[in-house]
Amino acid sequence: MIAINFQPEITDALEQFSQIIKDQSIYSVYQPIISLQDGQVFGYEALTRGPKGSPFHSPLVMFQFAEQQGQLYALEKLAREKAVQGANLDNKQQLLFINISSHVLYDPQFIPGRTQEILHRHGLRPENVVFEITERSSIEDFSLAKKILEHYRKQGYRIAIDDAGAGYSSLQAIAELQPDFIKIDRSLIENIHINKVKEYILETFVTFAKKMNISLIAEGIEHADELIKLTRLGVHYAQGYLLGRPSEGPSTVDENLRMLIWQHRKIEGGHTWTIGDLATPVQIFDVKAFVSEVADYFKKNQESSGVVIVNDDVPVGLMMRDRLFQQLAGQYAFSLFWNRTIDGIMDNAPLIVDEYMAIEQVSQMATSRSIHRLYDLVIITSKGKMIGSASIRTILESITNVRMEFARVANPLTGLPGNLQINREINKRILENSPFHVVYADLDYFKWFNDRFGFQRGDQLIQYTADIMQQAITVCGTPRDFVGHVGGDDFIAVSSTQVPEMLCQEMIRRFDQGVQMFYEGEEWDYVRDRTGNPVQSAGVSLSLSLVVCSCETLISLEQISQTAALLKKKAKAQQGSVYHIKGV
C-alpha cells in the first residue's frame, strides 16, 4: 500500500477528517457487475468517495488516513450506511457488494444487526448484500474469521473474496473462508485473450469454482476481446470500464455488448436452451388493480396458480393463488383487503429473469429460494418487458428430459454425444443453410499405444483427447459449437467459427503439449502401425480433417463424410500431428 505522510499538516487534516465524519459528507458511486450468461446487470459494487474538491476525495487517501488515526471503524460504518442509502437496485434479485476491511470483522462494534436496520429502512434485505473482504493479509486467525462470517451468512449475507490471483493471501482466504464469490484481479484479466498462461490459470479457477459452487467475477475489463475470452471460458460475472463506469445512478448495458455476451456464452453440456424457450402466457394485472379483481379471476380459473403484477408491461410483483386466499382467510382480512389494491399484498420480490438466461442457471436460482417461495412462478422478460412465465416443474422437467436424452445416446467413456446426435447436429446445420465446418479427429498409432501401455492408459488418452477438443472449442469456437465421439479414437467437432484453421491449430497444440505425460519417460526406436509394420515415430499424433461447408450449393451428410475420409488419408500419410482442409 502507498505510504501517505500527513505529518506537516496533521492537525488540519485531522480536523477536516473529523468534520467529514461529523457531517457524513462522503458518498457512494456504484459500478455494475454484469452476468456473462445474459448480459444483464447482476449487481453493483459500492465505491466510497470523499467530498469533491477535498484532499480526502480519493478513497485510498481517506481510508489510509482513517487507519493511521484509529478511525477506520467509524469511516467504514459510515461508508456502509451511505452505500445502502444511495443504492438504487433495478429489481429485488440484484446484489449490492459492500467492501469491508478484514480486521474490521474483529471490531466488537461491528454489529450486522445495525446494517440490517439500515437495509430495512431502504427496502433491502440481507439477501441483497455481499460483504466483499479486502486486506486479506491482515487475517491472522482464519478459524475466528470463518466463525464470524458464518454468523453473518446465517442472517442472509453473502461473502466475496476480492483480488484473487494477486497474491498468496487470496488463495489462502479462499481455502479457509469458502466464499460465495471470488473476484479475479485485473492483473489476471488484462490481455487474457493473447496470454495463454493467464488463460490456463483462469481455466483452473473456473473448474475449481464449479466444483465448489462458487461464482467468479472478473474485474477490470476494458476491451471487448477480454470480454469475449472470459465469456467463452465460462466466467460467471464481470465488471470494468468497458461494461460500465462507477456512477451515482443505475446502469444499463450497451445492447451491442449484451449481444456479444449472448453470442459467446458458454453452455454446459452443449445444451443451448434458454428460459425464453419455456415462456408461457400468464395473466397480468395492473399494479393498482383491486384485490377483489384478482380473487375473482382465480375463482373463475381454477387451473391458474399465479398472476403477474405489472406497471406499464414491466413486472413488479407476483400473486400466487394459495397465498392470496390464505391472506383473505383471516377473521377480518376479507373486509380489510377486498377493496384495496393488489400492490399492498403482492410479493414485490419475485424471481424475474431475462429470456436469454440459461435454463440451468434459472433452475439454480429458483431452487435456492426459501421453502415457502420454492414453487412460485418464474417471471420471464425481454428487454425488461413481460413475455411470460415458467413453473418450477416445467423448468426441472426440461432439464431432466435433456439430460436423459443425452445420457441415452452419449459415449459411456467420454460422456460426449454419440453418432445419433452427431448426425442430427450436422443435418440441422445443413438445413439452416449457413456456413459451418466439420473437424474429424483421429489418433495415429493408438493401437500401438494401447498394446504397449495397456487399455486403462488407452482410455485415459481417449478422455484426454475429448477434453482438448472441448477446450479448443471453448477458446476458438462459438457457443453453438458441438463435439461428439464417433467411437474408439475418432471424434467430430462441428463449428461456426470464422477461423476454422485456428481451431485445428489449437487442438493440435493442446494435444502435442500434453500427450508426453502418458509415456512417463519411456523411450522406443519405432512404433507399429495397424498392420504391425514398424514405423519411425515420436509416438501418438493427431490427424485432423477440416471440411469447410460454405452451403453455397446443396450438400449432404454423405458428401461431408466422404470428404473427411479422403482428408484423413492425406493427414495420416504425414508424420506428426497435422490437419488438411477442403471445402464442399
Q: Tell me the pLDDT tens digit for each residue of 403-426.
A: 776 666 678 888 888 888 898 889
For 557, the enclosing helix (H) or strand (E) is helix 557-572
576-582: average pLDDT: 96
Who contacts 537 (Cβ-Cβ below 8 Å, separation ≥6)? 444, 445, 526, 527, 575
Which has the closest alpha carbon to 494: 427, 395, 406? 427
Return the percentage of the chain with pLDDT > 90, whole number: 50
Pick the CATH number of 275-397 from 3.40.640.10, 1.10.3720.10, 3.30.1330.40, 3.10.580.10: 3.10.580.10
Q: Is the domain defined by 25-266 classed in CATH 3.30.565.10?
A: no
Strand order in the sheet with 284-286: 284-286, 306-311, 314-320
320-335: average pLDDT: 85
Return the percentage of the chain with pLDDT > 70, whole number: 92
Strand order in the sheet with 578-583: 482-487, 490-495, 436-444, 541-549, 578-583
Contact (CB, 8 A) for 120 and 381: no
* C-alpha to C-alpha distances, 445 to 272, 425, 449, 543, 546, nearest whole angstrom: 36, 29, 6, 11, 20
**CATH 3.20.20.450: which residues of the chain?**
25-266
Contact (CB, 8 A) for 110 and 116: no
pLDDT at res. 137? 52
* Banded model confidence at residue 1, pLDDT cuts 50, 70, 90: very low
CA–CA distance, 120 with 115 (Å, rounded to integer):
9
pLDDT mean across residues, the chain:
87
345-364: average pLDDT: 88
pLDDT at res. 410? 77
Q: Is 211 helix (H, G, I), strand (E, B) or coil?
A: helix
pLDDT at position 119 over 50 = yes
* Banded model confidence at residue 531, pLDDT cuts 50, 70, 90: confident
Contact (CB, 8 A) for 209 and 201: no
Give the largest Cα separation in the chain, rounded: 93
* Banded model confidence at residue 24, pLDDT cuts 50, 70, 90: very high
For 217, the enclosing helix (H) or strand (E) is strand 215-218
382-397: average pLDDT: 91
Q: Which of the residue ranges 259-268, 283-292, 371-380 would you say has the lowest mean pLDDT?
A: 259-268
For 570, the enclosing helix (H) or strand (E) is helix 557-572
416-445: b or e for each residue (b if 16 or more CB lie within 10 Å)? bbbeebbeebbeebbeeeeebbbbbbbbbb
> 414-583 in CATH: which number?
3.30.70.270
Task: Copy the grid coordinates of residue 160.
Answer: 466475496
Runs of H (alpha helix) within 53-141: 59-68, 72-86, 112-121
Q: Is 395 helix (H, G, I), strand (E, B) or coil?
A: helix
pLDDT at position 169 over 90 = no
* Banded model confidence at residue 271, pLDDT cuts 50, 70, 90: very low
pLDDT at position 6 over 50 = no
pLDDT at res. 335? 78
pLDDT at position 176 over 90 = no
Which has the closest alpha carbon to 342: 363, 361, 358, 328? 328
Which has the closest alpha carbon to 104: 61, 152, 32? 152
pLDDT at position 168 over 60 = no
DSSP state of 166: S
CA–CA distance, 118 with 79 (Å, rounded to integer):
12
Backbone angles phi, psi at 172, to 5 degrees: -65, -40
CA–CA distance, 510 with 508 (Å, rounded to integer):
6
Beta pairing partners, 315? 310
Task: Copy the grid coordinates of residue 180.
Answer: 460465495
Instruction: Give helix then strand counts, H and E, for the chain.
Output: 20, 21
pLDDT at position 269 over 50 = no
* Banded model confidence at residue 477, pLDDT cuts 50, 70, 90: confident
133-160: average pLDDT: 80
* Banded model confidence at residue 194, pLDDT cuts 50, 70, 90: confident
* C-alpha to C-alpha distances, 181 to 97, 141, 261, nearest whole angstrom: 10, 21, 20
pLDDT at res. 428? 83
**For the chain, first and last CA: distance in Å?**
60
pLDDT at position 28 over 90 = yes
**CATH 3.10.580.10: which residues of the chain?**
275-397
128-157: average pLDDT: 81
pLDDT at res. 352? 94
How many other C-beta atoms can be found within 10 angstroms of the C-beta atom of residue 211? 8
Task: Copy the grid coordinates of residue 93.
Answer: 434479485
Angle between the 72-86 and 10-23 helix axes, to the nearest 10 degrees?
Answer: 40
Query: How large is the C-alpha radius of gyration of the chain?
Result: 29
pLDDT at position 379 over 90 = yes
116-129: average pLDDT: 86
pLDDT at res. 528? 87
Which residue type is seen at 354? Answer: D
CA–CA distance, 542 with 311 (Å, rounded to integer):
59
Q: What is the 3-state secondary structure (H, E, C) of 462-530?
A: HHHHHHHHHHHHHHHCCCCCEEEEEECCEEEEEECCCCHHHHHHHHHHHHHHHHHHHCCCCCCCCEECC
Q: Which residue has the higher pLDDT, 81 or 532?
A: 81
Beta pairing partners, 439? 493, 546
Which has the closest alpha carbon to 449: 520, 507, 358? 520
pLDDT at res. 329? 85
Give 76's Cβ-side CA count (13 Å radius). 25
**CATH 3.30.70.270: which residues of the chain?**
414-583
pLDDT at position 266 over 70 = no
206-234: average pLDDT: 91
* Banded model confidence at residue 267, pLDDT cuts 50, 70, 90: low
For 233, the enclosing helix (H) or strand (E) is helix 224-233
pLDDT at res. 270? 45
CA–CA distance, 235 with 207 (Å, rounded to integer):
10
Which has the closest alpha carbon to 445: 288, 263, 577? 577
CA–CA distance, 425 with 50 (Å, rounded to integer):
57
